[in-house]
Amino acid sequence: MDESQVEAYLARIGAVRPERADVEALRVLQRAHLGAVPFENLSIHLGEPVKLTEEALLAKVVDRRRGGFCYELNGAFAALLTALGYRVTLLGARVFFAERLGPPMDHLALRVDLDEPWLVDVGFGRFSHAPLRLDERGDQQDTAGVFRLSEHGEDLDVLQDGSLQYRLEPRGYALADFGPTCWWQTTSPESPFTKGLTCSLPTGDGRVTLSGTRLIRTAGEERTETDLDEREALEAYRTWFGITLDRLPVAPPAPAAPAG
């Protein structure tokens, strides 16, 4: 990234260039990114290719003011952090979904090495709002819940409020290494990303999500759901997520009911 791209990225997330690459600045950058760049899988349902190159990710997240899913969001954030002087390693993980672990590298998270190693993740939807200590095995309090990292052989299990979220591998990868699994996630009928639409951001007191044409808002213990028509859904993308679309993504059809 050149200096103009760094400044554009910081403007995109509403952050200023930190004076030094330390953990305090990392916390600010992570929270700013989470609050500005939505977790979304719209490209899959708009027929747009998902390209795992720094150029493509910056064009999407910064220039087009879109979001993405883990490979895109953490891939782009890694480029920004590296340009700001952080030492960043891309880590692969297996997501715990539907009572089982997914395939290797079906998630991308970040290790940031400072005085100690930190787990940073802006691409998992509802997850920690601040970096987590990778070497800590006790509870870590966060505004999104209580997190704990526990050893599983050479890997680390990452738990949120007692529930396993993903199993993290210790070795580092290049962004291109995630290409095959990213392709599967964007094309396979078994992928959770091809089965439904989502666009989501944390708010000051909860979260806002557009799932297809259903707007879901949580604030504390309160949850409201509103079904929208096409015009209202397009407006919701603009209002809540800063995304301007000329047409709605095509949601997959509901599965047929079993016969008999």
- 70 catalytic residue (yes or no): yes
Active-site residue (options: 45, 107, 157, 199):
107
The span from the CA of 241 to the CA of 237, in Å, is: 5
Total residue length of the chain: 260
8 Å CB contact between 162 and 156 = no
Active-site residue (options: 121, 157, 182, 199):
121
Closest CA to 144 of 217, 87, 201, 65: 201
Active-site residue (options: 70, 106, 157, 199):
70
Q: How many CB atoms lie within 10 A of CB 95?
A: 19
8 Å CB contact between 88 and 111 = yes
The span from the CA of 131 to the CA of 27, in Å, is: 6
- 113 catalytic residue (yes or no): no
Mind telling me the catalytic residues? 70, 107, 121
